[in-house]
A and B are shown apart, each in its own frame.
Chain A
Amino acid sequence: MSRKKLQVIIGGIIILSGIAGLIVYSFNQSLVYDHSVAEYLADRSLQRTNCRIFGKVKTDSIQRASGGIGVAFEVTDGVRSVPVIFAKEVPDTFKENGDVVVEGRLDGNGVFLAHNLLAKCPSKYEKEGVGEQASPRSTDG
């Protein structure tokens, strides 16, 4: 292999590794972690930043906003819950006891203001092999 060719190959590897490294680095900077309700309530530092909580929509907690668009409810893990306000239109899959992930932050009054909401409807079939339907439409802020 000639020296020139070796240079080209090494140069190419360096460039490609550089690009890959940048991609991975920017990825790590953009990651958002999903936290359970319990984790979220336990960790004060999470409560000060933009973050995601997953859980179920608490039964009997859904209230439509008075203007018609938006909803207030509580996200729960069965034991504890966090009140949430989401000021945009909700997807079709959003309902009581369904899985939900909300992204946003806590306001001064302990209410989670969500700018992003993903909902999955509860599994309808008991048989193994036929599973859930998911509707990960997110209305992003």
Chain B
Amino acid sequence: MADFGYTCMVLALICAVWSMLALWLGHQSRSSELIRSGERAAIAVGLLLTFSSLSLIRAFVADDFSILYVAQNSNSTQPTVYKVTALWGGQAGSLLLWVWILSIYALIVTVQNRNRIRALMPGVTGTLMAVVSFFLILLQFVSNPFQPTGRAVVDGSGLNPLLQNPFMASHPPSLYLGYVGVAVPFAFAMAAMLTGRLGNEWIVTMRRWSLFAWFFLGIGILQGGYWAYVELGWGGYWAWDPVENASLMPWLTLTAFIHSVMIQEKKGMLKVWNLILIILTFCLSIFGTFITRSGIISSVHSFTKSTLGPWFAGFWITIILVSMVLLVLRLPQLRTENSIESLLSRESAFLFNNIIFLAICFTVFWGTVYPILSEAFNGTRISVGAPWFNQWIVPLGLSLIFVTGVGPLIAWRRASSQNLRRNFTIPAAASLVVAAAVALYGARHLRAILSFALCAFVLTTIALELHRGARARMKTASETFLGGLLGLVGRNKRRYGGYLVHVGMVMIFVGITGSSAFQQEAVANLKRGGAFEIGPYELRFVDTSSSHDPHKDVLAATLDVYRDGEKVSTLRPEKHFYRDTEQPTTEVAIYGLFQWPPHLGEDLYTILVDANPIEGGYVFKAYLNPLISWIWLGGLVVILGTNVAVLPEFDRQRAAARRPAPQEAPGIAT
């Protein structure tokens, strides 16, 4: 089995290299046969790597411990679902997953465009095959998932119990779909630069791909936060951990990119900027993969150390050099068609959006990379904590919310005072009302008040847009208000899907603000019958119970939750003691979203910290996290909005009108 998987991997590398060669030669000599051959080879790579990955999965499920990677990450008693997820439990398997996903994307892109944009496609497929080749070289020579164990093994070591969790099935794959997805827009950008077709052709074709990557990266990050919240037991969801930051950075630049390409599409501006952005995003995506997988940082995520560092560094430098050289060569052809005329315009708002995203990305980058470099080169260990990150990210985030409200409504080119009044008076008033209400409710943090006020501002601008649009359709198309609303969204799914995404992001901001600014905590050492208070709740320690299963011993404590004298819930925080590791894990108990009826105002989060049966005391910790469920609910709204935005046109006429106009090649320069 190992031989089959390994052989497919080797064949895939050969096909990928041939693909690049054939596409390059085919493009140079204008031989469509060579190009077709190259494309077929790319398709073959996708199929071969599918066989390869499936054979490794089969080895896991069949407990084939003759393969070292299986022995390190699985165990005969491990539940089957975690045997499958063990594929990405370690370094070599994760790299295989990465390149498998990339090869499938390359297959889809090649097949999707086999009869269109023929001038661009060789560059796209070729670039993707180049990245595939790099990873396949790593897999063959540095980190081989099919390496034999070399000796008889009775049973494997098993997957880390912290990873044996349903989120292990969805969080890494989602992130990988996103990380890897960034390669496709990058490939389109490279192809555009290689062929000189620098108009909107590449932008329009790769738009759905960038949304797709953005979507999976975003929900991957949210899932990671949720997993940390319900599993790790420290009451929070984001620690500015280097690996967390590594996933956030490409998401930030990708969000900036998605917005700024709209400006290029409509106004022919920011052409050079967009190329730089997507190259930066791809570099950050590779960087993120590298940080997570090279062991350069110890964090909850990096379970391996290895020699991948120099390879990735080399790859990174190559990407930057090649793309920068191409960009400089193409600079004369990247002239902007319009320029910014006024600071009060939609173009400016989108530019501010980009600047803010980049400032946030820079902050995160500096805080993540500086300590690493310092330790690598000076040997000094430094750390910078959450307070520093928040010091910068909070004001930048607040500015971002503001721009989110202004951008979609402000006029193009130059906003007149009439336009400003018409669009922003009501939202501004709404935000003042909310600010006053929040302050009256007792909040004293200025930043929290500002945050809620700005969120109200954005929500009002969106409501205003929907209201005006629906009413216009009521008049022109004689529809009801609801019909008008649906018709409005249906005719411009991109725009209104985008608004829905903004609503989701606002909900996330509300959740972040509530749970950060107003969190409370309490600790108590209790004997049975004891109680402690947090906020309006009283928690009474009733009893403990123990249970066992083949893998672990479980100690559970029962806490009755009272509010205003009435019992509202019973919580059971637990501690799990796994037999084969010495470290206990914590299972928190939360009274919040997953209740009926759902409790959305706050989460009551309880942890069994320590058990000292000798003295009879049990240490409990409780957090009150106001509004935290809005983060997860906001995530669901973002999912809905993105899906609306990418829906295809159901009306053929409108679909035809939206296809990119065929472009004249500006001289066949390469």
B648 at the interface (CB under 8 A from A): no
Q: Which of the segments B24-32, B274-282, B358-366, B589-597 contacts the partner chain? A: B358-366
Q: Which residues of A contact B651 (CB under 8 A)?
A: none
B487 at the interface (CB under 8 A from A): no
> In whole angstroms, how far apart are the Cα atoms of A32 and B385 in the complex?
9
Asked if A137 and B304 sit within 8 Å, CB to CB, the answer is no
B157 at the interface (CB under 8 A from A): yes
Q: Which of the segments B208-216, B472-480, B614-622 contacts the partner chain? A: B614-622
Asked if B355 and A16 sit within 8 Å, CB to CB, the answer is yes
A3 at the interface (CB under 8 A from B): no
Q: Which residues of B contact A10 (CB under 8 A)?
A: none
Asked if A89 and B610 sit within 8 Å, CB to CB, the answer is yes
Partner of B298, one of A67, A120, A124: A120
Asked if B380 and A129 sit within 8 Å, CB to CB, the answer is no
Partner of A26, one of B355, B385, B388: B388
Asked if B234 and A137 sit within 8 Å, CB to CB, the answer is yes
Looking across the interface, which residue of chain B has its beta carbon closest to that of A2? B339
Asked if B383 and A131 sit within 8 Å, CB to CB, the answer is no
Asked if B383 and A69 sit within 8 Å, CB to CB, the answer is no
> In whole angstroms, how far apart are the Cα atoms of A32 and B160 in the complex?
32
A54 at the interface (CB under 8 A from B): yes
Looking across the interface, which residue of chain A has its beta carbon closest to that of B356? A19
Q: Which residues of B contact A20 (CB under 8 A)?
A: 359, 362
Partner of B382, one of A34, A91, A95: A34
Partner of A5, one of B339, B362, B582: B339
A127 at the interface (CB under 8 A from B): yes
Looking across the interface, which residue of chain B has its beta carbon closest to that of A88? B523
Q: Which residues of A contact B239 (CB under 8 A)?
A: 136-137
Please report the total number of B residues contacting A with Cβ < 8 Å. Answer: 55
Asked if A136 and B241 sit within 8 Å, CB to CB, the answer is yes
A42 at the interface (CB under 8 A from B): no
B547 at the interface (CB under 8 A from A): no
Asked if A92 and B72 sit within 8 Å, CB to CB, the answer is no
* A117 CB to nearest B CB, Å: 12
A68 at the interface (CB under 8 A from B): yes
B585 at the interface (CB under 8 A from A): yes
Q: Which residues of A contact B302 (CB under 8 A)?
A: 131, 134
Asked if B72 and A129 sit within 8 Å, CB to CB, the answer is yes
Asked if B305 and A89 sit within 8 Å, CB to CB, the answer is no
- Against B, the Cβ 8 Å flags (1 = close, 0 = not) of A91-133 are 1110100000000000000000000000011001101111111
Asked if B363 and A23 sit within 8 Å, CB to CB, the answer is yes
Interface hub of A30, A124, A128 (most chain B Cβ within 10 A): A30
Partner of A69, one of B304, B523, B582: B523
Partner of A8, one of B306, B340, B586: B340
B514 at the interface (CB under 8 A from A): no
Asked if A92 and B383 sit within 8 Å, CB to CB, the answer is no
Contact A33:B340 (CB < 8 A) given known A92-B584, A133-B162:
no
A64 at the interface (CB under 8 A from B): yes
> In whole angstroms, how far apart are the Cα atoms of A26 and B387 in the complex?
11
B381 at the interface (CB under 8 A from A): yes
> In whole angstroms, how far apart are the Cα atoms of A52 and B583 in the complex?
24
Asked if A67 and B391 sit within 8 Å, CB to CB, the answer is no
Asked if A23 and B362 sit within 8 Å, CB to CB, the answer is yes
Looking across the interface, which residue of chain A has its beta carbon closest to that of B575? A92
Q: Which residues of A contact B340 (CB under 8 A)?
A: 8
- Against A, the Cβ 8 Å flags (1 = close, 0 = not) of B597-621 are 0000000000001101001010101
B299 at the interface (CB under 8 A from A): yes
Asked if B303 and A19 sit within 8 Å, CB to CB, the answer is no
A43 at the interface (CB under 8 A from B): no
- Against A, the Cβ 8 Å flags (1 = close, 0 = not) of B420-453 are 0000000000000000000000000000000000
Q: Which residues of B contact A69 (CB under 8 A)?
A: 523, 525, 609-610, 619
Asked if A27 and B610 sit within 8 Å, CB to CB, the answer is no
Asked if A30 and B91 sit within 8 Å, CB to CB, the answer is no
B518 at the interface (CB under 8 A from A): no
A135 at the interface (CB under 8 A from B): yes
* B303 CB to nearest A CB, Å: 6
Asked if A127 and B72 sit within 8 Å, CB to CB, the answer is yes
Asked if A26 and B300 sit within 8 Å, CB to CB, the answer is no
Asked if A134 and B366 sit within 8 Å, CB to CB, the answer is no
* A94 CB to nearest B CB, Å: 10
B326 at the interface (CB under 8 A from A): no
A24 at the interface (CB under 8 A from B): yes
**Could you list which residues of chain B lie within 8 angstroms of chain A, going by C-beta atoms?**
72, 90-91, 157, 160, 162, 232-234, 239, 241, 295, 298-300, 302-306, 339-340, 355, 359, 362-363, 366-367, 370, 380-388, 391-392, 523, 525, 581-586, 609-610, 612, 615, 617, 619, 621
Given A124-B582, A133-B162, A136-B298: 5 more A-B contacts, CB < 8 Å: A68-B619, A69-B610, A89-B610, A92-B586, A131-B295
Residue contacts A-B, CB under 8 angstroms, 5 given = A30-B387, A34-B382, A125-B157, A128-B305, A140-B386
